[in-house]
């Protein structure tokens, strides 16, 4: 890789060196195309970028990124660029003076209420406390319709109000629908087939992905400053779609986060990778990186997450009026045959990492007319 300007022409200019841009850069370079990938940040990897802090602990500056997928194609594709460390993420929630498993499961209910229910009895318990919802429209409807109002208030309402600065009754059902409810004792946060972390970190994986000689990388660079000076055939844009069109219909609403990192002179700070705080404090959760990376170190580093209204765009606010605004920008994007819009920011959607990879692979197939999936079984490097 290089981050110095180049003078020769390129087949593709890719804006953004996160998952969407990097996967497309690698695929197109592998096709023999010359690719320039540009990012405003001083690093590759987007929000998944990781680095070693001053204590020598591998951290995720933009909050914990836990890889999980049900897609063999996606997992096999990424395995070309990294070996893996198996890791199943577990989360506890601080509720009523206890640290209880989330998603809500059999142990959560039994410990919270001092019960001794079986899995079959838990189904009856949920049915007894659930509130009938004629038509599920909001995040509140999703939760109270499954587990009732008390569990909703203890685990979901406060967390959601902090995260979104909106009551769950004001948010689309998709927000809380992503978190399952279980009747067994499975305390894994995700249930996907493939759950693992890049063995040497995300940044190393991205470095391997972008090491193709047909790829040039420019960091600390706004694409607008160089696009008119460097000839290229087609642009792939992974940034905010409203910014591309100079916010001509207004800004698309996002929620942001402030990350406060701390290092502690002890081996372990908390009992699991992430602890949620739905009802107490201004932060939503604390994550401890050594659980996630498997690193052995006498000290430990953690990150506190404080939701913010302003800052880097992380979470599109899922409300009908915001989707209506996005549709206006999507119409402008669809009219641009010279630009392909791909990724979370360019399509105003919250995607997991594997979903972005899948979208990028599908976009490559559309651009090149390839009929077969990209990912093949391959040995890790």
- pLDDT (tens digit, 9 = 90+) per residue, 263-296? 999 999 999 999 999 999 999 999 999 999 999 9
Structural domain range at position 285: 50-90+188-198+254-315
Query: Are 341 and 359 in a shared domain?
Result: yes
pLDDT of residue 74: 98
- pLDDT (tens digit, 9 = 90+) per residue, 330-339? 999 999 999 9
Query: Are 77 and 110 in a shared domain?
Result: no
Q: What is the mean pLDDT of residues 120-148?
A: 93
Query: Are 121 and 132 in a shared domain?
Result: yes
pLDDT at 2 over 90: no
pLDDT of residue 327: 98
Q: What is the mean pLDDT of residues 359-376?
A: 80
In a domain, 3, yes or no: no
CATH number of 362's domain: 3.40.50.720
Question: Pick from 182, 176, 178: which is nearest to 105 by CA?
Answer: 182
Question: Pick from 32, 18, 35: which is nearest to 238 by CA?
Answer: 18
Query: Per mean pLDDT, which range of 61-70, 76-85, 366-375 is the poorest?
Result: 366-375
Q: What are phi and psi of 90, to 5 degrees?
A: -130, 140
Q: How far, in Å, CA of 347 to CA of 37, rounded?
A: 19
Instruction: Region of 56 please: left (phi>0), alpha (psi -120 to 50) or beta.
Output: left
- pTM of the model as a whole: 0.92
Select the more confidently predicted residue: 170 or 276. 276
Query: Are 71 and 155 in a shared domain?
Result: no
Q: 373 pLDDT band (50/70/90 cuts)?
A: low
How many domains would you assign to the chain?
Answer: 3
| The Cα angle at residue 355 between residues 216 and 357, in degrees rounded to 5 | 25
- pLDDT (tens digit, 9 = 90+) per residue, 26-63? 999 999 999 999 999 999 999 999 999 999 999 999 99
In a domain, 19, yes or no: yes
Q: 369 pLDDT band (50/70/90 cuts)?
A: confident
Query: Are 224 and 361 in a shared domain?
Result: yes
pLDDT of residue 175: 83
Query: Are 286 and 259 in a shared domain?
Result: yes
In a domain, 203, yes or no: no
pLDDT of residue 371: 60
**Taking the alpha carbons of 49, 51, 54, 59 in that order, is the dihedral positive or negative?**
positive
SS3 at position 236: strand
Residue written as token pair 């593709």: 12
In a domain, 329, yes or no: yes
In a domain, 378, yes or no: no
Task: Give 280: exposed, middle or buried? Use CB within 10 Å, 0-12, 13-18, 19+.
Answer: exposed
pLDDT of residue 8: 57
Q: Do residues 282 and 225 lie in contact, with contact meaning Cβ atoms separated by under 8 Å?
A: no
Q: How far, in Å, CA of 187 to CA of 100, rounded?
A: 10
Percent of the chain with pLDDT strictly greater than 70: 95
In a domain, 275, yes or no: yes
Query: Are 111 and 171 in a shared domain?
Result: yes
Q: Do residues 49 and 62 lie in contact, with contact meaning Cβ atoms separated by under 8 Å?
A: yes
């Amino acid at each position: 890789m290089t981050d110095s300007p180049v003078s020769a022409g390129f087949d593709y200019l890719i804006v953004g060196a996160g998952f969407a841009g990097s996967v497309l850069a690698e695929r197109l370079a592998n096709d023999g195309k010359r690719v320039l990938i540009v990012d405003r940040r001083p690093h590759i990897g987007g929000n998944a970028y990781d680095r070693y802090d001053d204590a020598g602990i591998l951290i995720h500056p933009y909050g914990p990124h836990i890889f999980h997928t049900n897609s063999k194609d996606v997992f096999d594709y990424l395995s070309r660029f990294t070996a893996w460390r198996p890791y199943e993420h577990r989360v506890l929630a601080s509720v009523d003076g206890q640290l209880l498993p989330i998603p809500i499961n059999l142990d959560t209910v039994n410990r919270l209420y001092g019960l001794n229910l079986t899995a079959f009895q838990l189904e009856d318990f949920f049915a007894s406390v659930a509130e009938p919802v004629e038509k599920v429209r909001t995040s509140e409807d999703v939760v109270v319709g499954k587990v009732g109002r008390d569990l909703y208030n203890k685990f979901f309402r406060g967390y959601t109000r902090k995260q979104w600065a909106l009551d769950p009754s004001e948010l689309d059902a998709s927000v809380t629908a992503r978190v399952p409810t279980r009747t067994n004792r499975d305390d894994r946060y995700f249930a996907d087939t493939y759950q693992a972390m890049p063995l040497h970190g995300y940044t190393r994986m991205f470095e391997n992905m972008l090491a193709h000689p047909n790829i040039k990388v420019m960091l600390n660079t706004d694409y607008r400053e160089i696009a008119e000076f460097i000839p290229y055939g087609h642009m792939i844009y992974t940034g905010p779609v409203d910014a591309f069109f100079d916010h001509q219909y207004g800004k698309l609403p996002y929620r942001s986060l402030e990350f406060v990192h701390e290092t502690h002179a002890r081996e372990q700070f908390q009992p699991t990778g992430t602890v949620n705080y739905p009802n107490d404090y201004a932060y939503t959760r604390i994550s401890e990186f050594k659980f996630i990376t498997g690193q052995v170190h006498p000290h430990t580093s953690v990150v506190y997450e404080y939701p913010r209204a302003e800052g880097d765009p992380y979470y599109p606010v899922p409300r009908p009026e915001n989707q209506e605004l996005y549709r206006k920008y999507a119409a402008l994007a669809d009219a641009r045959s010279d630009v392909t819009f791909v990724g979370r920011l360019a399509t105003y959607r919250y995607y997991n990492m594997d979903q972005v990879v899948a979208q990028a692979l599908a976009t490559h197939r559309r651009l090149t007319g390839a009929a077969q999936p990209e990912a093949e079984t391959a040995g890790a490097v």
